[in-house]
Amino acid sequence: MSIEVSNESGMDVSEAELVSVARFAIASMDVHPAAELSMVLVDSATMADLHMRWMDLPGPTDVMSFPMDELEPGGRPDAPEPGPSMLGDIVLCPSFAADQAAAAGHPLEHELALLTVHGVLHLLGYDHAEPDEEKEMFGLQNRILEEWYEDLRRAEEAELQAARDRRLLGKTGFARGDGL
C-alpha cells in the first residue's frame, strides 16, 4: 500500500501517524493492499479556495476527499479479484482541525486521525448527507478509530514486554546462550 503525504500546511504534524491510521482504515475496509492514497495538508487559505472551488461553500473546512477510482468495500463475491488502484486524495487542514480539537477537548492528533478515517471513507463512497448514511458512516468511522487505538495499545504493550524480556534475559545469561 502506497500512501504519500505532503505537508504544505506550515504546521508540525506527525505524518507517520496519519499514514498509520490511513493504512489501518484502508485495510479494515478490505481494500486491495496495493492501493494508493495521497494526502495533502494545507493552510486555511488554500482549503478555503478548494472548498469554494469544489463545493461552492465559503471558508475553510477540515477535510475534503477527491476519489479517483470507483471502489466498493469488499467488492462483489462474483467479481474477479480486484487489482491495485488509486483511491484518490485526502486534503486536511490542520489549523482548522486544531480549532475543532480545542472545541471538542481532545488533542489535535486525535482530530487528524478521525478526519483521516473520515476522508478514507469518503474515498470509498460513504457519505453523510442523509440521516441513515450519517449513522452508518459515523458508526464505521468510530469503530475503525477505536480499533486503530486498540491496535496501537497492543503494539505498545508488546514492545514494553519485549523490552522487559530483553532486560531479564540479559541479566540471567540466557541472552548469551549459557543459561541452559
| Residue ranges of the binding site for Zn(2+) | 118, 122, 128
Q: For residue 7, give the nearest of 107, 69, 91 by alpha carbon.
A: 91
Helices (H) and strands (E) in the chain, counts: 5, 4
C-alpha 140/C-alpha 144 separation (Å) is 6
Q: For residue 21, give the nearest of 141, 174, 102 by alpha carbon.
A: 141
Residues 6+ apart with CB under 8 A from 128: 134, 137, 138
Q: For residue 8, give the nearest of 89, 102, 126 by alpha carbon.
A: 89
Write out the three cell numbers for 132: 441513515
Annotated binding site: 118, 122, 128
Query: In this structure, are strands 2-7 and 36-41 parallel, antiparallel, or unpaired?
Result: parallel
